[in-house]
Structure 1
Amino acid sequence: MEIADPVTGQMHYKTCIIEWTESDNVHCSPLTDLSSALGTIAVESLVVQNEYIFVQKNTQRSAEMYVSYRRQPFKKAYFPQGLESVEFELYDTDEHQVFVAVRHWTDVLNLYLSDITGQYFVLSLENVVTMDFGTFSFSDLIEIKSTPGVFLSNVRTTYGIVTMVTYDKGGNWSRLAAADPKCRLPDCSLNLHMMYSSFKYSIPQGIFSKKNAPGIIIGLGNEDGYLNMQSKSNSYISRDGGHTWTKLLSGNYQFNILDQGGALMAVQPGVYTRHIQYSTDVGGTWKPVTLNVSLMIDGLLNEPGITTLVSSAYGHHQTGDYGWVVIQFNLTGAFSGKCTDKNYEHWSPGGEHACTLGERAVYQRRKQNADCYNGQDYERPINSSVCTCTVEDFECDYGYENQAGQCVVAAWYDQSPVEDCPVGTKYSKSSGYRKVAADKCKGGVEDDKKYKPTMTDCPVLPPGDMRLESSATTGATTTGTNVTFYFRQGKGSKTTTHYNCTFGDGHQQSMQWNDTTPGVMKFTHQFLKVGTYHVTVQATNEKGQASVALPLTVEDRIVDLEVELPRGALQNEPSVFTAIPVFGLDNGNTQDLKQTHFIWQFSHQETPTLSWNGTVSFKCSEPGNYTVHVTAVNAVSSYHKALTVRVYGELVVVQLWFENLPLEVPPSLLINRIIFRRSFEKAVVKEISEKKILGTEVGEIQAAMLLKEPLRVDVVILPPTVNKNKITATQVAQKLIDAVAAHNLSIPLGSIDTVTPTKAVIVKEITHQWLHSYGKVWGSTVLFEDKFPTPFNFSFKVYFSSPVPMRKFA
């Protein structure tokens, strides 16, 4: 099954047996894991067909297909080099062979055929017509159900689109012979409309074939040098599996095959008509059925299938009644009776003695002009025999190309074993030929040495095609976490190769190949410092060396947010909010804020605000309480907090200057700055409150330190909720200015020292809004809402005289 990681959303392949427990719960018992060397896979890429399981893995530039043959471990599928693969479309996996279309670019798609394992592919057909709509795509490739091994495809050429046919499931392709003897290859051929014509030019897509109607193929197209989208199309039929064609009807028609090929029905789509035509001699002649109303026929259906002579046409009235109209036809009366043995003939695809994929099949089918029907109980006898192998039953192997009928080594292929080949063992070296996987032939040239591989000693090969992945599938991990790395080597020797891994943090690890999990070497490492690292594996042996690198971001997990905001803000004036993330690991790291972003949502705004430095500006035109939501996010975590800010219509800021206090806190000690600032702010608020310098006509005071020379503290004075004496905040502020001028305000600094402000002034603009240390004055009681530690002992130079418990801050 394909399952998603609940954290990263990435997809993985897992196998298990579904069992029902006594409580009707589903239990999944794990089976042998085929995916341990696979890693993450592309979404919705899992396909199970016959003996094959397919998944797709995406890289930055291209895609790779992996296949499990007969439920064995997944292996990478190999395609001829030169074009990067973007997407894979499976068309057929019958007869122990995979037929796949590979999209290389937007309008470039090639067809490939595999060996029996589905791992090694060779080119079958180039430049297949395709269209990509983003959410879905299609290609002009159609399997003919009436004749095994036959496919039709449209390809792009220099002059236009032409139709190609293969009679051996993609082994060889050729153009279709035209019905008109004047239209001769190679300048003229029959070309048929498929999906591209339908989507691009609204021309009906008309390739009709049925499994139980052997040899019959019906198509719409034209006879020309290429497929003409502008000229009128006609209908054509082949009764011998696509080898020869006959013109059926002039114009576009939709067809229905009945009675296992004994009868045909035809109707023109997209026009109102009173006529439906039928044929009892496989399209040799046609007879009309006249309807009593004019209908636009939307489709034809068999009831209940191809063995019946009953068909239904459904469509719409021309007179404005837009409901469905269904008309049923029974063609039994068009025949004189049921067929007997004398009414049948034997037919073989390609001719009486022809072999297709190493087998000669002989079908019994009704003679074209026999005036009888097969009936629903007719069982068609099919006789088959195995053919002797000829050159036609072989194709060029992976890494080889056909040149003048001979398979020669391709320029990109070095003939070395693709998979691991331990030195001291042997591998099967291709002669350049391989038997077509779906071919059933026996003997003949199969026994010729020219077509057989040879056992060859495994050479020492330079390492290559290396990939490095990790358990940190998002490319980021948390400090202190064990990261598992998965190293894969697609080419070159392994047992004779030395591997050295450097982690980018000063550590390295030397290894020899050890694949306890087939195809992958695993190792672990723990990163203790925040940063971006490049983990590199270098592989070296006597024939060469190669390396692969994987970038990895290491970050601390956010465990809390210290949000600095004004508990009181002035309406129509901007206020600054700052969020400082607290990280979880106490390892002395300095987390780079550039790796963290912040999402702010204010209750009066519909659109959230994104910031990268933790600071945003807020302005509100009406007084009141507002909720502020902030979420800090980095590559490994996120943390959310919601707070409330009060917007006032009036407040005054008095700035206290401490010119005699040197500011010598080392700026690199961010935690020291925060603790000192908050402690000093609390001391200012407490001293003002306890000495009742402002009297009782004040609702709230706040303090915010500016870490500048000289040190300054903004004291924000908010009006009381109930103001019986109608005193203004400016009048209250003047009391503080007078107290400073009279030297009646001294701020304790530690247990011994005090410091006195040298001046106090009212500032018109709020230049600093880290107003987080505050108290409410109720009589002589100050209620501090800040949770930070109480002030520490400071020397006069504002250094800590005792150790400070470190907490991680950005």
Structure 2
Amino acid sequence: IMVLTDPEFESSVLISSDEGASYQKYRLNFFVLSLLFHHTQEDWALAYSHDQKLYSSFDFGRKWQLVHERVTPNQKKKKILFLSFLTTDCQYVSCRAQACSESSRTYPFSGYIETNSLVVQDEYVFVQVTTTGRASYYVSYQREPFVCIKIPKYSLPKDMHIVSTDQGQVFTAVQEWNQNDTYNMYISDTRGVYFTLALENVRTSRGLGGNSMIDLYEVAGIEGMLIANRKVENQVKTYITYNKGQDWRLLQAPTTDLAGNPIHCVLPFCSLHLQLQMSENPYLSGSISTKSSAMCGTVMFGCCWVCWHVYKKLKHCMLRQARTLSLQSFCCGPSCLFADKLNISLSIGRFFGHFSHRSEWQLIKIDYKSIFTRRCTEGDYQTWHLHNQGEPCIMGQKQIYMKRRPGNYCMVGWDNSRILSAEPCICRAHDFECDYGFERRGDGNCLPAFWFNPSTLSQSCSQGQNYLNSTGYRKVVANNCTKGVKEMYTARKQQCLNRPPRGLVLTTRDDKLTANMGSNVTFLVRLEEGDSMRTNIQLDFGDGTAVSYSNLSWTQEGIRHVYRSAGIFRVTVQAENSLGFDTSALYLHVTCPVEHIQLLAPYVVIKNKEVNLTAVVWPSNFRTLTYFWWLGNNTEPIITLDSSVSHTFSTEGMVTVTVQVSSGDFILQDTRSIAIQGDISHFIRNNFKMSLSLPSF
């Protein structure tokens, strides 16, 4: 047992190894804000301090070592064998938990990572990276290199949440640009890279902390069963799926209520609605909860589960003890306990929560073992399956469960097996979902979407190798069906054919077309079609230097180059193989900061006569500067790429001329005052007399 002391008095942990009979104190040199224990190594723990430092311990908190400073909080983690965290300057850091030295840490991203975007769940790590104002979402599966998440190209997401990573598949909620109180649900392949649409317009709400809560619930105990509240024509309706989002249907309402009164509800005009939202309010319980053992025991719906389960099923709702409310008033009366946590095991129920928003925490233990007269025997159970619901196969197999017979009030033992038998089913169409880039049409077939070209699947394929050519379908992850249409729907292995290069694209790593003189510029080369292993790449930097590569794989990390002079350079790349070639180009502006500017202009000019104005800059940036000329009272400048401009002034008097020079992010300016005269001889005569009248020195 580990106990944290009150930080207002001291910073220590109390550790007991004899079930709380005695404790030993270990003082800490930091104040613990949150603790996280490893999912399998019970002595491993992470501690996050008030001053944004991350500590690790491998002996159950007796000794701690600093992992990293300036770590951002509130990052979801289910496993800490391999550490992943964000720093306050938005760097992503990863290292092994027991050897997280500075030399072993990796920093895979150069772009800006959104604060609190890191999500670590099971075998997946997700981050949101912002580059040149555009947000991209990346995933790493089983510590593989990060890959950009692919969602349908017509999707324009403004927000994304990872909902579930169970059973080796990712459910994500994406809010499109035109959605406000709904999200679209997408489901991925095993690696969490390629996502397809599972359900549109799932209802959401905002919690007290501002987080979005998605009305999607994963039912424990039956794989592939999910429940969602969907907004349809301004009405919220509850849908259920038995195959992980492949098909959704409305819920059938019961035929009678608890009092035995008939319920007249016919699909699709009437259906059962469930409140799925899990409140973030610490004083309110969730609206629905299930356990993996629900098939043989109980399904819990909200606070009044106690009354429904105990009173309706056990006919016993009046357990009174000193300083303890009756069960009836505990749940069904005005003093309902708002449960933060609940734990049910055999005949013991433990409820942890509040009786009101202002009350202290309460821990209530209910032991209703005395109301059972015996343990359940084999005759008290019956088989249960979904066959009578029109679902003989769930996730590709027929499962038969053991369930206690209604009305038999006996105690279920620990040795009760939830699943009696399970056998695989023959694969049918609904065991498969549409593959990435394909959409299900009205006839039920998966066909290429308007934005997707199936031929791009083999873009990285090399001659002599093989690739998987999608049929438009992929089997639902964790589905156990066999034979049937499996072979027809499974991607087929095909041999790669050599093709001429096509769709050659040249960009910089940060998508910018400007660079500072003397700095590294990284160029990226991408080829949509062609044999990348047998294609020669020639890259000309435009400043008299060029490089060549024998195949495209050598350029995956980018090609770096340093420009030693300023200017505008035409960078070209050519991809060529035995069947043809393709080219691409960009124009890179290489600049250096302007340190000084001087405007050259005469002090006096003649009205209606053209005059030249010149700006001298240092150092000189050939063809990379923009000049803004503000002449007199003009509200708009004259913009030129040359350092001089000709202008005619039409009004006599004093005017102010200002020139600004722009070089990258730097802008400098200089100003001169000019006298405009109609009769220059009169001006000279007046100035000459003035000079004669001056005293000599």
TM range (shorter): 0.5 to 0.7
Q: Which residue of 2 aligns with 1:144?
A: 219
Cα distance in 2, alignment partners of residues 758 and 376 from structure 1 = 116
Cα distance in 1, alignment partners of residues 205 and 569 from structure 2 = 39
| Correspondence list, 1:376-525, <5 A | 380=418, 383-403=421-441, 404-418=443-457, 419-422=459-462, 425-447=465-487, 449=488, 451-458=490-497, 459-460=499-500, 462-463=502-503, 468-470=508-510, 479-481=517-519, 483-487=520-524, 489=526, 491-493=528-530, 494=532, 509=546, 511-512=548-549, 519-525=556-562
The yes-or-no answer on 1:208 pairing with 2:289 is yes
Q: CA offsets, 1:12-31, max 9 Å, x none? A: 45445743xxxxxx624538
Return the structure number with greater relative CO, CA threshold 8 A, min gap 6: 1
Residues 330, 537 of structure 1: alpha-carbon distance in 2 compared, 3 angstrom cutoff = farther
Residue 216 of structure 1: CA displacement?
7.7
Question: Which of 371, 389, 407 is equivalent to 1:369?
Answer: 407
**Is the 1:476–1:636 Cα contact (8 Å) retained in structure 2?**
no
Residue 165 of structure 1: CA displacement?
0.9
Cα distance in 1, alignment partners of residues 548 and 362 from structure 2 = 75
Q: CA offsets, 1:735-781, max 9 Å, x none? A: xxxxxxxxxxxxxxxxxxxxxx9679xxxxxxxxxxxxxxxxxxxxx
Q: Which residue of 1 aligns with 2:382?
A: 345
Cα distance in 1, alignment partners of residues 476 and 249 from structure 2 = 18
Residue 485 of structure 1: CA displacement?
1.0
Residue 425 of structure 1: CA displacement?
4.1
Helix, strand or coil at the partner of 1:127:
strand
**Is the 2:573–2:584 Cα contact (8 Å) retained in structure 1?**
yes
**Is the 1:488–1:520 Cα contact (8 Å) retained in structure 2?**
no
Cα distance in 2, alignment partners of residues 66 and 463 from structure 1 = 24
The yes-or-no answer on 1:281 pairing with 2:313 is yes
**Is the 1:207–1:217 Cα contact (8 Å) retained in structure 2?**
no
Cα distance in 2, alignment partners of residues 411 and 213 from structure 1 = 44
Cα distance in 2, alignment partners of residues 322 and 450 from structure 1 = 59
Cα distance in 2, alignment partners of residues 164 and 444 from structure 1 = 28
Residue 374 of structure 1: CA displacement?
1.7
Q: Which runs of 5+ in 1 are unaligned?
A: 20-25, 220-236, 238-252, 257-263, 267-276, 559-582, 596-633, 638-666, 671-705, 711-756, 761-810
Q: Which residue of 2 aligns with 1:183?
A: 265
Question: Which of 76, 95, 99 is equivalent to 2:171?
Answer: 99
| Correspondence list, 1:81-120, <5 A | 81-105=153-177, 106-107=179-180, 108-120=182-194
Helix, strand or coil at the partner of 1:342:
helix
Cα distance in 1, alignment partners of residues 588 and 403 from structure 2 = 63
Q: Which residue of 1 aligns with 2:129?
A: 57
Q: Which residue of 2 aligns with 1:357?
A: 395
**Is the 2:517–2:562 Cα contact (8 Å) retained in structure 1?**
no
Helix, strand or coil at the partner of 2:486:
helix
Residue 84 of structure 1: CA displacement?
1.9
| Correspondence list, 1:645-656, <5 A | none
Helix, strand or coil at the partner of 2:157:
coil
Helix, strand or coil at the partner of 2:338:
strand
**Is the 1:178–1:190 Cα contact (8 Å) retained in structure 2?**
yes
Cα distance in 1, alignment partners of residues 87 and 280 from structure 2 = 37
Q: Which residue of 1 aligns with 2:368?
A: 331
Residue 61 of structure 1: CA displacement?
6.3
Residue 436 of structure 1: CA displacement?
1.8
**Is the 1:139–1:195 Cα contact (8 Å) retained in structure 2?**
yes
Helix, strand or coil at the partner of 1:123:
strand
Q: Which runs of 5+ in 2 are unaligned?
A: 1-82, 256-262, 597-616, 629-662, 676-692
| Correspondence list, 1:211-222, <5 A | 211-214=292-295
**Is the 1:16–1:28 Cα contact (8 Å) retained in structure 2?**
no
Cα distance in 2, alignment partners of residues 17 and 635 from structure 1 = 43
Question: Which of 91, 107, 113 is equivalent to 1:11?
Answer: 91
The yes-or-no answer on 1:192 pairing with 2:274 is yes
TM-score (norm 1): 0.53
Q: CA offsets, 1:196-245, max 9 Å, x none? A: 9x699x998512211222388868xxxxxxxxxxxxxxxxx7xxxxxxxx
**Is the 1:557–1:636 Cα contact (8 Å) retained in structure 2?**
no
Cα distance in 2, alignment partners of residues 546 and 406 from structure 1 = 38
Helix, strand or coil at the partner of 2:239:
strand
Q: CA offsets, 1:85-136, max 9 Å, x none? A: 3333222333332222222235252222222332222211112223468953
The CA RMSD over aligned residues, in Å, is 5.0
Residues 172, 513 of structure 1: alpha-carbon distance in 2 compared, 3 angstrom cutoff = farther
Helix, strand or coil at the partner of 2:379:
helix
**Is the 1:208–1:255 Cα contact (8 Å) retained in structure 2?**
no
- Number of residues of Structure 1 aligned to a counterpart in Structure 2: 513
Residues 368, 519 of structure 1: alpha-carbon distance in 2 compared, 3 angstrom cutoff = farther
Write the letter of the residue equivalent to 2:303.
Q
Q: CA offsets, 1:130-163, max 9 Å, x none? A: 3468953222111112322111111222242211
Residue 311 of structure 1: CA displacement?
3.5
| Correspondence list, 1:223-234, <5 A | none
Q: CA offsets, 1:387-420, max 9 Å, x none? A: 3323332222222222212222222222113452
Residue 185 of structure 1: CA displacement?
1.5
Q: Which moved more, 1:406-415 or 1:323-332?
A: 323-332
Q: CA offsets, 1:54-97, max 9 Å, x none? A: 33333556533333334333333322221123333222333332
Give the fraction of aligned pairs with identical amino acids, expressed as a percent: 24
**Is the 1:91–1:101 Cα contact (8 Å) retained in structure 2?**
yes
Residues 46, 444 of structure 1: alpha-carbon distance in 2 compared, 3 angstrom cutoff = same
Residue 179 of structure 1: CA displacement?
2.1
Residue 555 of structure 1: CA displacement?
3.8
Write the letter of the residue equivalent to 2:472.
G
Residues 516, 424 of structure 1: alpha-carbon distance in 2 compared, 3 angstrom cutoff = closer
TM-score (norm 2): 0.60
Residues 707, 474 of structure 1: alpha-carbon distance in 2 compared, 3 angstrom cutoff = closer
Helix, strand or coil at the partner of 1:95:
helix
**Is the 1:193–1:204 Cα contact (8 Å) retained in structure 2?**
no
Residue 343 of structure 1: CA displacement?
1.7
The yes-or-no answer on 1:68 pairing with 2:108 is no
Residue 10 of structure 1: CA displacement?
4.4
Cα distance in 1, alignment partners of residues 486 and 249 from structure 2 = 25
Residues 111, 61 of structure 1: alpha-carbon distance in 2 compared, 3 angstrom cutoff = farther
Q: Which residue of 1 aligns with 2:563?
A: 526
Write the letter of the residue equivalent to 1:111.
M
Residue 708 of structure 1: CA displacement?
9.1
